[in-house]
C-alpha cells in the first residue's frame, strides 16, 4: 500500500532534529513522496552529513547545523531557509532530548535547565523566528512534537514531561496569538521505537510492560507519527488549530 499524498509539493519546510528518528522519517517523506523543499536542522554535523547522503535529495534539501536552544543559531537557521528558498511554509519542531531522571525533585538544576532549554525553549525560539516570516507571507503552519508524557507522569521522564507540557501550552497560546494566518498544532506520540527511546524498549521486560498499556499492542514506529504531522500541514487541516493529537495506540484512554 502506497503512502497518502498531502499536496505539499514545492512547499518549504524547516524540520528540527531531522537527522534521525521521527525527524528523519518526516524529511524522507517530504522530499521523496511530497516533492517538498526541506531545511533539515540538527546539532551535530556528522548526523547531518549521514542524512544528506541517505536522502540524496539534491537542491531540495538544505542541511544546517544548529543548536535550537541558542537564539543566534535559530535566527541563522530561519534566515538561511528564507534566503535559500524565498519562504517558509511550515515549521516542524521535532527536537527532543531527555536525560533519565529517576527523581525530578532530586535532579541537578543543570539537568533541569538542559532538558527545558532543548525541548521547550528551543520550540519557542524556532516558532518565534519562523512566525515573523509567516506573518509577512500571510500564511504558515507550525507543528510541534509533544509526548503523552506531557500529561502522564512516567518513570525517568519527569522533567521531559514538564517540558512537553509547556510545549502543549505554547501550542495553544500561539494558535490564538498567530491566528488567523498561522495554524499551530501538536502531535503527542506514546513511546516511538527510535534510538531516543531505546533505553526503555530494548529491555524485554520493560518493553512488555509498556505494551500492556497500549491497546493496539505495539510501540509506535516513526512512520506512524509522520501521517498526522503531514496532515496538519495540509489544506485538509485548514480549520484545525491549537490542537494536540494523541498518536498513542490508545494508551491515554486506559
Q: Where does the pLDDT of residue 1 fall: very low under 50, low under 70, confident under 90, or very high at 90 and above?
A: very low
pLDDT of residue 201: 84
Q: Which of 17-21, 28-32, 86-90, 193-197 has the lowest mean pLDDT?
A: 193-197
**Rounded to an integer, what distance in angstroms lies between the CA atom of residue 201 and that of residue 62?**
32
Do residues 81 and 74 touch, judged by C-beta distance below 8 A? Answer: no
Q: Which of 26-40, 122-136, 192-206, 235-249 has the lowest mean pLDDT?
A: 192-206
In sign, the C-alpha dihedral spanning 144, 241, 26, 78 is: negative
Q: Where are the alpha helices (DSSP H) in the chain?
A: 21-32, 45-55, 71-85, 109-116, 122-137, 158-178, 198-201, 204-212, 222-232
Q: How many structural domains does the chain have?
A: 1
Do residues 228 and 243 touch, judged by C-beta distance below 8 A? Answer: no
- The CATH number of whichever domain residue 40 belongs to comes to 3.40.50.720
pTM: 0.96
* Nearest residue to 12 via CA among 31, 28, 25: 31
Residue 32 domain-assigned (yes or no): yes
Q: For residue 98, what is its C-alpha cell?
A: 531527555
**Rounded to an integer, what distance in angstroms lies between the CA atom of residue 250 and that of residue 213?**
8
Residue 5 domain-assigned (yes or no): no
Q: Where does the pLDDT of residue 2 fall: very low under 50, low under 70, confident under 90, or very high at 90 and above?
A: low
Residue 224 domain-assigned (yes or no): yes
Q: Which of 93-97, 133-137, 142-146 has the lowest mean pLDDT?
A: 93-97
State the residue range of the domain holding 177.
Answer: 12-248
- For the annotated catalytic residues, the residue numbers are 160
In whole numbers, what is the pLDDT of the chain averaged over residues? 95
DSSP letters for 18-82: TTSHHHHHHHHHHHHTS--EEEEEES-HHHHHHHHHHH--GGGEEEEE--TTSHHHHHHHHHHHH
C-alpha distances in Å from residue 100, one per residue of 119, 154, 221: 14, 11, 22
Beta-carbon count within 10 A of 175 CB: 19
Amino acid at each position: 500500500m502506497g503512502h497518502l499524498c498531502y499536496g505539499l509539493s514545492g512547499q518549504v519546510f524547516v524540520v528540527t532534529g531531522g537527522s534521525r528518528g521521527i525527524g528523519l522519517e518526516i524529511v524522507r517523506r517530504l522530499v521523496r513522496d511530497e516533492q517538498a523543499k526541506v531545511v533539515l536542522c540538527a546539532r551535530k554535523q556528522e548526523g547531518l552529513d549521514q542524512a544528506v547522503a541517505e536522502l540524496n535529495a539534491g537542491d531540495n534539501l538544505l542541511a544546517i547545523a544548529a543548536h535550537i536552544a541558542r537564539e543566534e543559531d535559530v535566527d541563522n537557521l530561519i534566515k538561511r531557509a528564507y534566503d535559500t528558498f524565498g519562504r517558509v511554509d511550515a515549521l516542524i519542531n521535532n527536537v527532543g532530548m531527555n536525560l533519565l531522571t529517576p527523581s525530578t525533585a532530586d535532579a541537578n538544576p543543570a539537568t533541569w535547565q538542559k532538558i527545558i532549554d532543548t525541548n521547550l525553549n528551543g520550540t519557542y525560539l524556532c516558532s518565534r523566528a519562523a512566525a515573523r516570516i509567516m506573518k509577512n507571507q500571510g500564511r504558515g503552519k507550525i507543528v510541534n512534537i509533544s509526548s503523552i508524557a506531557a500529561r502522564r507522569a512516567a518513570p525517568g521522564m519527569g522533567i521531559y514531561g514538564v517540558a512537553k507540557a509547556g510545549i502543549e501550552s505554547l501550542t495553544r497560546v500561539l494558535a490564538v496569538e498567530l491566528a488567523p494566518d498561522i495554524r499551530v498544532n501538536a502531535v503527542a506520540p506514546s513511546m516511538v521505537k527510535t534510538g531516543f527511546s531505546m533505553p526503555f524498549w530494548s529491555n524485554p521486560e520493560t518493553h512488555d510492560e509498556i505494551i500492556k498499556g497500549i491497546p493496539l499492542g505495539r510501540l509506535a514506529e516513526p512512520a506512524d507519527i509522520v501521517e498526522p504531522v503531514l496532515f496538519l500541514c495540509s489544506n485538509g487541516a485548514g480549520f484545525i488549530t491549537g490542537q494536540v493529537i494523541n498518536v498513542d495506540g490508545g494508551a491515554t484512554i486506559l
